Structure 1
Amino acid sequence: MLRPHAGFAAVVRNRVVEAGPTGWARRQERGTSLDVTDTSAPQPEDADVESDVNAGLNLTPRTDVTPSGRRNRRRIGPIIVLAVVVVAGVVVITQFLGKSLDYYCNVDEVSVKAGCSADRSLRVQGTVERGSLTRDDTETRFIIAFNGKTMPVVYDGDPGGKFQECIPVVVRGRLSGGTFLGNEVEVKHSNEYAAENKSRIDTAESSTCPQAA
Protein backbone atom coordinates (compact mmCIF):
# COMPACT_ATOMS: atom_id res chain seq x y z
CA MET A 1 0.00 0.00 0.00
CA LEU A 2 1.28 3.44 -0.96
CA ARG A 3 1.61 6.09 1.71
CA PRO A 4 0.98 9.77 0.91
CA HIS A 5 4.01 11.90 0.55
CA ALA A 6 4.68 14.02 3.61
CA GLY A 7 4.72 17.20 1.59
CA PHE A 8 1.33 16.44 0.05
CA ALA A 9 -0.23 15.83 3.47
CA ALA A 10 1.02 19.16 4.69
CA VAL A 11 -0.59 20.91 1.74
CA VAL A 12 -3.92 19.19 2.40
CA ARG A 13 -3.86 20.19 6.05
CA ASN A 14 -3.16 23.80 5.11
CA ARG A 15 -6.14 23.83 2.73
CA VAL A 16 -8.44 22.35 5.39
CA VAL A 17 -7.32 24.87 7.91
CA GLU A 18 -7.83 27.71 5.45
CA ALA A 19 -11.35 26.43 4.71
CA GLY A 20 -12.30 26.42 8.35
CA PRO A 21 -14.23 29.06 10.28
CA THR A 22 -11.14 31.19 10.63
CA GLY A 23 -10.11 30.95 7.06
CA TRP A 24 -11.57 34.36 6.17
CA ALA A 25 -9.15 35.97 8.63
CA ARG A 26 -6.16 34.24 7.11
CA ARG A 27 -7.27 35.19 3.62
CA GLN A 28 -7.55 38.79 4.76
CA GLU A 29 -4.03 38.60 6.16
CA ARG A 30 -2.84 37.39 2.78
CA GLY A 31 -4.40 40.45 1.06
CA THR A 32 -7.93 39.21 0.36
CA SER A 33 -10.35 42.16 0.83
CA LEU A 34 -13.77 41.49 2.43
CA ASP A 35 -16.55 44.10 2.83
CA VAL A 36 -17.67 43.68 6.41
CA THR A 37 -19.31 47.10 6.70
CA ASP A 38 -22.01 47.12 9.39
CA THR A 39 -25.12 48.42 7.62
CA SER A 40 -26.90 48.92 10.92
CA ALA A 41 -24.54 51.71 11.93
CA PRO A 42 -25.64 55.26 10.96
CA GLN A 43 -23.95 56.49 7.82
CA PRO A 44 -22.79 60.11 7.32
CA GLU A 45 -25.18 60.56 4.40
CA ASP A 46 -28.17 59.47 6.53
CA ALA A 47 -27.20 61.91 9.25
CA ASP A 48 -27.05 64.76 6.73
CA VAL A 49 -30.53 63.93 5.32
CA GLU A 50 -32.03 63.68 8.79
CA SER A 51 -30.46 67.01 9.71
CA ASP A 52 -31.99 68.67 6.61
CA VAL A 53 -35.45 67.24 7.36
CA ASN A 54 -35.34 68.38 10.96
CA ALA A 55 -34.23 71.83 9.86
CA GLY A 56 -37.35 72.19 7.66
CA LEU A 57 -39.80 70.99 10.31
CA ASN A 58 -40.40 72.73 13.59
CA LEU A 59 -40.88 69.82 15.95
CA THR A 60 -40.78 71.97 19.06
CA PRO A 61 -44.01 71.52 21.10
CA ARG A 62 -46.25 74.61 20.86
CA THR A 63 -46.78 76.40 24.11
CA ASP A 64 -48.71 79.45 22.86
CA VAL A 65 -52.04 77.62 22.38
CA THR A 66 -53.64 76.45 25.57
CA PRO A 67 -56.96 74.62 26.04
CA SER A 68 -58.41 77.72 27.63
CA GLY A 69 -57.37 79.80 24.60
CA ARG A 70 -59.15 77.43 22.25
CA ARG A 71 -62.26 77.55 24.41
CA ASN A 72 -62.20 81.35 24.35
CA ARG A 73 -62.06 81.37 20.54
CA ARG A 74 -65.01 78.99 20.37
CA ARG A 75 -66.99 81.31 22.64
CA ILE A 76 -66.23 84.48 20.65
CA GLY A 77 -68.01 83.23 17.51
CA PRO A 78 -71.51 82.88 19.05
CA ILE A 79 -71.07 86.17 20.91
CA ILE A 80 -70.31 88.03 17.68
CA VAL A 81 -73.32 86.45 15.94
CA LEU A 82 -75.58 87.38 18.86
CA ALA A 83 -74.29 90.96 18.84
CA VAL A 84 -74.99 91.30 15.11
CA VAL A 85 -78.53 89.96 15.57
CA VAL A 86 -79.20 92.35 18.45
CA VAL A 87 -77.92 95.37 16.52
CA ALA A 88 -79.97 94.42 13.46
CA GLY A 89 -83.06 94.01 15.65
CA VAL A 90 -82.56 97.42 17.23
CA VAL A 91 -82.20 99.05 13.81
CA VAL A 92 -85.37 97.39 12.50
CA ILE A 93 -87.37 98.32 15.61
CA THR A 94 -86.12 101.91 15.50
CA GLN A 95 -87.09 102.29 11.86
CA PHE A 96 -90.48 100.72 12.52
CA LEU A 97 -91.20 102.99 15.45
CA GLY A 98 -90.02 106.02 13.51
CA LYS A 99 -92.54 105.25 10.80
CA SER A 100 -95.40 104.14 13.01
CA LEU A 101 -95.25 106.86 15.67
CA ASP A 102 -96.96 109.89 14.17
CA TYR A 103 -97.27 112.99 16.33
CA TYR A 104 -100.69 114.57 16.72
CA CYS A 105 -100.48 118.27 15.91
CA ASN A 106 -102.96 121.05 15.31
CA VAL A 107 -102.63 123.05 12.11
CA ASP A 108 -101.08 125.96 13.96
CA GLU A 109 -98.47 123.69 15.59
CA VAL A 110 -96.93 122.27 12.41
CA SER A 111 -93.28 123.38 12.04
CA VAL A 112 -93.62 125.26 15.35
CA LYS A 113 -94.09 122.75 18.16
CA ALA A 114 -91.44 120.20 19.07
CA GLY A 115 -92.24 116.90 17.42
CA CYS A 116 -94.34 118.59 14.73
CA SER A 117 -91.49 119.18 12.29
CA ALA A 118 -92.39 119.25 8.63
CA ASP A 119 -89.89 116.54 7.67
CA ARG A 120 -91.69 113.69 9.39
CA SER A 121 -95.02 111.88 9.26
CA LEU A 122 -97.73 113.71 11.23
CA ARG A 123 -101.37 113.53 12.18
CA VAL A 124 -102.74 117.03 11.75
CA GLN A 125 -106.06 118.10 13.24
CA GLY A 126 -108.20 120.85 11.82
CA THR A 127 -111.66 121.75 10.57
CA VAL A 128 -112.49 121.37 6.88
CA GLU A 129 -113.19 124.90 5.66
CA ARG A 130 -116.48 125.54 3.93
CA GLY A 131 -116.20 125.83 0.16
CA SER A 132 -112.71 124.32 0.04
CA LEU A 133 -113.70 120.74 -0.82
CA THR A 134 -113.13 119.61 -4.42
CA ARG A 135 -112.97 116.11 -5.86
CA ASP A 136 -111.91 114.48 -9.10
CA ASP A 137 -111.27 110.91 -10.21
CA THR A 138 -107.96 110.58 -8.38
CA GLU A 139 -107.69 113.26 -5.69
CA THR A 140 -109.63 115.08 -3.01
CA ARG A 141 -108.55 118.63 -2.15
CA PHE A 142 -109.61 120.66 0.86
CA ILE A 143 -108.30 123.11 3.46
CA ILE A 144 -108.16 122.50 7.19
CA ALA A 145 -107.98 125.32 9.76
CA PHE A 146 -107.21 125.60 13.47
CA ASN A 147 -106.69 128.70 15.64
CA GLY A 148 -106.65 130.99 12.65
CA LYS A 149 -104.06 128.95 10.71
CA THR A 150 -104.91 127.08 7.52
CA MET A 151 -103.27 124.26 5.57
CA PRO A 152 -104.16 122.96 2.09
CA VAL A 153 -104.51 119.17 1.89
CA VAL A 154 -104.33 116.82 -1.08
CA TYR A 155 -105.65 113.34 -0.41
CA ASP A 156 -105.03 110.50 -2.84
CA GLY A 157 -108.52 109.12 -3.50
CA ASP A 158 -111.86 109.75 -1.79
CA PRO A 159 -112.02 109.79 2.03
CA GLY A 160 -115.60 108.52 1.83
CA GLY A 161 -117.78 107.88 4.85
CA LYS A 162 -118.90 110.95 6.80
CA PHE A 163 -116.20 113.20 5.42
CA GLN A 164 -117.57 116.64 4.55
CA GLU A 165 -116.99 120.35 5.07
CA CYS A 166 -117.25 122.08 8.44
CA ILE A 167 -116.29 119.05 10.54
CA PRO A 168 -113.08 118.43 12.51
CA VAL A 169 -110.81 115.80 10.98
CA VAL A 170 -107.36 114.36 11.53
CA VAL A 171 -105.27 113.90 8.40
CA ARG A 172 -102.24 111.65 8.38
CA GLY A 173 -99.38 112.40 5.97
CA ARG A 174 -96.41 114.68 5.28
CA LEU A 175 -95.95 118.33 4.48
CA SER A 176 -94.44 119.01 1.05
CA GLY A 177 -93.97 122.49 -0.36
CA GLY A 178 -96.62 124.03 1.87
CA THR A 179 -99.24 121.37 0.98
CA PHE A 180 -100.05 118.48 3.27
CA LEU A 181 -100.05 115.20 1.34
CA GLY A 182 -102.53 113.03 3.18
CA ASN A 183 -102.77 109.25 3.00
CA GLU A 184 -105.42 108.76 5.69
CA VAL A 185 -108.37 110.84 6.92
CA GLU A 186 -110.03 110.21 10.28
CA VAL A 187 -113.44 111.74 10.76
CA LYS A 188 -114.12 110.12 14.11
CA HIS A 189 -111.32 110.21 16.64
CA SER A 190 -110.19 107.00 18.27
CA ASN A 191 -111.13 106.50 21.91
CA GLU A 192 -107.47 106.74 22.93
CA TYR A 193 -106.99 110.04 21.13
CA ALA A 194 -110.26 111.42 22.48
CA ALA A 195 -109.25 110.54 26.05
CA GLU A 196 -105.80 112.13 25.75
CA ASN A 197 -106.77 115.20 23.68
CA LYS A 198 -110.22 116.24 24.92
CA SER A 199 -109.36 119.95 24.95
CA ARG A 200 -108.16 119.82 21.34
CA ILE A 201 -111.34 118.13 20.21
CA ASP A 202 -113.46 120.66 22.07
CA THR A 203 -111.56 123.52 20.45
CA ALA A 204 -111.89 121.98 16.99
CA GLU A 205 -115.61 121.37 17.40
CA SER A 206 -116.21 124.90 18.65
CA SER A 207 -114.66 126.29 15.49
CA THR A 208 -116.84 124.31 13.11
CA CYS A 209 -118.55 126.33 10.46
CA PRO A 210 -122.23 126.06 9.52
CA GLN A 211 -122.53 123.49 6.78
CA ALA A 212 -123.42 124.75 3.35
CA ALA A 213 -127.03 124.24 2.39
Structure 2
Amino acid sequence: MTMPAAIRKKSWSRKQKRLATIAALGVVLALATTLVLVALRDQIVFFYSPSDVIARQVEAGTPIRLGGLVKDGSWTRDGQENHFIVTDNASDIVASYTGILPDLFREGQGVVAEGSMGDDGSFIASNVLAKHDENYIPKEVVDALKASGEWRPETATP
Protein backbone atom coordinates (compact mmCIF):
# COMPACT_ATOMS: atom_id res chain seq x y z
CA MET A 1 0.00 0.00 0.00
CA THR A 2 1.40 3.36 -1.00
CA MET A 3 0.91 6.61 0.86
CA PRO A 4 -0.77 9.53 -0.78
CA ALA A 5 1.60 12.22 -2.16
CA ALA A 6 0.42 14.83 0.38
CA ILE A 7 1.43 12.64 3.34
CA ARG A 8 4.76 11.41 1.97
CA LYS A 9 7.84 13.22 3.35
CA LYS A 10 9.86 14.95 0.74
CA SER A 11 13.50 13.86 0.84
CA TRP A 12 16.28 16.17 -0.25
CA SER A 13 18.40 15.25 -3.19
CA ARG A 14 22.20 15.28 -2.95
CA LYS A 15 22.30 18.48 -4.99
CA GLN A 16 19.87 20.25 -2.64
CA LYS A 17 21.85 19.12 0.44
CA ARG A 18 25.09 20.36 -1.11
CA LEU A 19 23.55 23.75 -1.97
CA ALA A 20 22.13 24.10 1.55
CA THR A 21 25.55 23.33 3.05
CA ILE A 22 27.28 25.88 0.79
CA ALA A 23 24.66 28.53 1.63
CA ALA A 24 25.08 27.89 5.38
CA LEU A 25 28.88 28.15 5.08
CA GLY A 26 28.46 31.41 3.13
CA VAL A 27 26.31 32.87 5.91
CA VAL A 28 28.84 31.82 8.58
CA LEU A 29 31.72 33.32 6.55
CA ALA A 30 29.85 36.61 6.05
CA LEU A 31 29.07 36.80 9.78
CA ALA A 32 32.70 36.10 10.73
CA THR A 33 33.98 38.74 8.29
CA THR A 34 31.54 41.30 9.69
CA LEU A 35 32.60 40.57 13.26
CA VAL A 36 36.32 40.92 12.39
CA LEU A 37 35.78 44.22 10.57
CA VAL A 38 33.73 45.65 13.44
CA ALA A 39 36.39 44.60 15.96
CA LEU A 40 39.22 46.15 13.90
CA ARG A 41 37.36 49.37 13.08
CA ASP A 42 38.89 51.16 16.08
CA GLN A 43 42.40 49.93 15.25
CA ILE A 44 42.58 51.30 11.69
CA VAL A 45 44.68 54.46 11.33
CA PHE A 46 44.29 56.37 8.07
CA PHE A 47 47.04 58.42 6.39
CA TYR A 48 46.23 62.04 5.55
CA SER A 49 48.13 64.96 4.09
CA PRO A 50 47.39 68.42 5.55
CA SER A 51 45.08 69.18 2.59
CA ASP A 52 43.17 65.92 3.23
CA VAL A 53 42.73 66.76 6.93
CA ILE A 54 41.26 70.16 6.09
CA ALA A 55 39.08 68.91 3.21
CA ARG A 56 37.66 65.96 5.17
CA GLN A 57 37.30 67.94 8.41
CA VAL A 58 38.79 65.16 10.54
CA GLU A 59 37.18 65.20 13.98
CA ALA A 60 39.18 65.94 17.11
CA GLY A 61 40.41 62.76 18.81
CA THR A 62 40.28 60.60 15.67
CA PRO A 63 43.57 58.66 15.37
CA ILE A 64 45.33 59.42 12.07
CA ARG A 65 48.74 59.53 10.46
CA LEU A 66 49.68 62.99 9.22
CA GLY A 67 52.34 63.15 6.54
CA GLY A 68 54.06 65.89 4.63
CA LEU A 69 57.14 68.06 4.88
CA VAL A 70 58.35 69.92 7.97
CA LYS A 71 57.98 73.56 6.94
CA ASP A 72 61.23 75.52 6.88
CA GLY A 73 61.62 77.83 9.89
CA SER A 74 58.69 76.31 11.80
CA TRP A 75 60.35 73.92 14.27
CA THR A 76 60.69 75.15 17.85
CA ARG A 77 61.88 73.09 20.78
CA ASP A 78 61.58 73.72 24.52
CA GLY A 79 63.03 70.76 26.39
CA GLN A 80 61.06 67.79 25.11
CA GLU A 81 58.21 69.96 23.79
CA ASN A 82 58.44 70.20 19.99
CA HIS A 83 56.23 72.34 17.77
CA PHE A 84 56.44 72.34 13.99
CA ILE A 85 54.29 72.81 10.90
CA VAL A 86 53.54 69.92 8.55
CA THR A 87 52.86 71.08 5.00
CA ASP A 88 52.11 69.62 1.60
CA ASN A 89 52.82 73.07 0.11
CA ALA A 90 49.10 73.58 -0.35
CA SER A 91 47.96 73.50 3.30
CA ASP A 92 49.69 73.68 6.67
CA ILE A 93 48.88 72.07 10.03
CA VAL A 94 50.54 73.00 13.31
CA ALA A 95 51.79 69.89 15.09
CA SER A 96 53.17 69.29 18.57
CA TYR A 97 55.08 66.34 19.97
CA THR A 98 56.39 65.67 23.46
CA GLY A 99 59.46 63.47 23.46
CA ILE A 100 62.71 62.92 21.65
CA LEU A 101 62.43 63.23 17.89
CA PRO A 102 64.34 60.91 15.52
CA ASP A 103 67.91 62.04 14.78
CA LEU A 104 67.07 62.71 11.14
CA PHE A 105 64.07 64.93 11.89
CA ARG A 106 64.69 68.37 10.38
CA GLU A 107 63.01 71.17 8.51
CA GLY A 108 62.38 70.61 4.82
CA GLN A 109 62.33 66.81 5.23
CA GLY A 110 59.43 64.38 5.01
CA VAL A 111 57.68 63.32 8.19
CA VAL A 112 54.89 60.94 9.16
CA ALA A 113 53.41 61.51 12.60
CA GLU A 114 50.81 59.38 14.36
CA GLY A 115 48.35 61.05 16.68
CA SER A 116 45.08 62.94 16.59
CA MET A 117 43.65 66.35 15.90
CA GLY A 118 43.17 68.64 18.87
CA ASP A 119 40.06 70.72 19.56
CA ASP A 120 41.87 73.83 18.29
CA GLY A 121 42.68 72.30 14.88
CA SER A 122 46.31 71.49 15.67
CA PHE A 123 47.78 68.00 15.46
CA ILE A 124 48.96 66.29 18.64
CA ALA A 125 51.51 63.62 17.74
CA SER A 126 51.99 60.56 19.89
CA ASN A 127 54.72 59.14 17.65
CA VAL A 128 56.96 60.57 14.93
CA LEU A 129 58.14 57.86 12.57
CA ALA A 130 61.87 57.58 11.90
CA LYS A 131 63.31 57.77 8.41
CA HIS A 132 65.93 55.45 6.88
CA ASP A 133 68.30 58.17 5.70
CA GLU A 134 68.27 61.87 4.99
CA ASN A 135 66.87 61.36 1.47
CA TYR A 136 64.05 59.01 2.41
CA ILE A 137 60.45 60.15 2.22
CA PRO A 138 57.66 57.65 3.09
CA LYS A 139 55.64 56.41 0.11
CA GLU A 140 52.43 57.95 1.45
CA VAL A 141 54.08 61.39 1.60
CA VAL A 142 55.44 61.02 -1.96
CA ASP A 143 51.96 60.05 -3.20
CA ALA A 144 50.36 63.04 -1.43
CA LEU A 145 52.98 65.44 -2.82
CA LYS A 146 52.54 64.04 -6.33
CA ALA A 147 48.76 64.44 -6.03
CA SER A 148 49.17 68.09 -5.01
CA GLY A 149 51.68 68.72 -7.82
CA GLU A 150 54.46 69.59 -5.37
CA TRP A 151 56.70 66.52 -5.85
CA ARG A 152 60.38 67.34 -6.48
CA PRO A 153 62.10 64.02 -7.31
CA GLU A 154 65.57 65.59 -7.35
CA THR A 155 65.45 66.26 -3.59
CA ALA A 156 64.38 62.84 -2.32
CA THR A 157 64.15 59.19 -3.20
CA PRO A 158 61.18 57.06 -2.11
Does residue 173 (structure 1) correspond to residue 115 (structure 2)? The answer is: yes
Q: Which residue of 2 aligns with 1:20?
A: none
Superposition deviation, residue 157 in structure 1: 3.3
Asked if structure 1 preserves the Cα contact closer than 8 Å seen for 2:96 and 2:125, the reply is yes
TM-score (norm 1): 0.45
Q: Which residue of 2 aligns with 1:4?
A: none
TM-score (norm 2): 0.55
Task: Provide, for residues 13-65 of structure 1, a one-character-per-residue CA deviation record: whole Å limited to 9, x for no partner.
Answer: xxxxxxxxxxxxxxxxxxxxxxxxxxxxxxxxxxxxxxxxxxxxxxx988252
Gapped regions of structure 2 (runs ≥ 5): none
Q: 1 CA distance for matches of 2:44 and 2:83?
A: 25
Task: Provide, for residues 138-172 of structure 1, a one-character-per-residue CA deviation record: whole Å limited to 9, x for no partner.
Answer: xx431215348543323353222211345442323
Q: Which residue of 1 aligns with 2:100?
A: 158
> RMSD of aligned C-alpha atoms?
4.2
Higher strand share: 2
Q: Which residue of 2 aligns with 1:190?
A: 138
Q: Structure 2 vs 1, CA of residues 100 and 174 (structure 1 numbering), >3 Å: closer, same or farther?
A: same
Gapped regions of structure 1 (runs ≥ 5): 1-59, 206-213
Higher helix share: 1
- Percent of aligned pairs with the same amino acid: 16
Does residue 143 (structure 1) correspond to residue 84 (structure 2)? The answer is: yes
Length, aligned pairs only: 137
Q: Structure 2 vs 1, CA of residues 117 and 96 (structure 1 numbering), >3 Å: closer, same or farther?
A: farther
Q: Which residue of 1 aligns with 2:76?
A: 132
Secondary structure in 1 aligned to 2:116? strand
Higher relative contact order (CA 8 A, sep 6+): 2
Asked if structure 1 preserves the Cα contact closer than 8 Å seen for 2:69 and 2:107, the reply is no
Superposition deviation, residue 201 in structure 1: 4.4
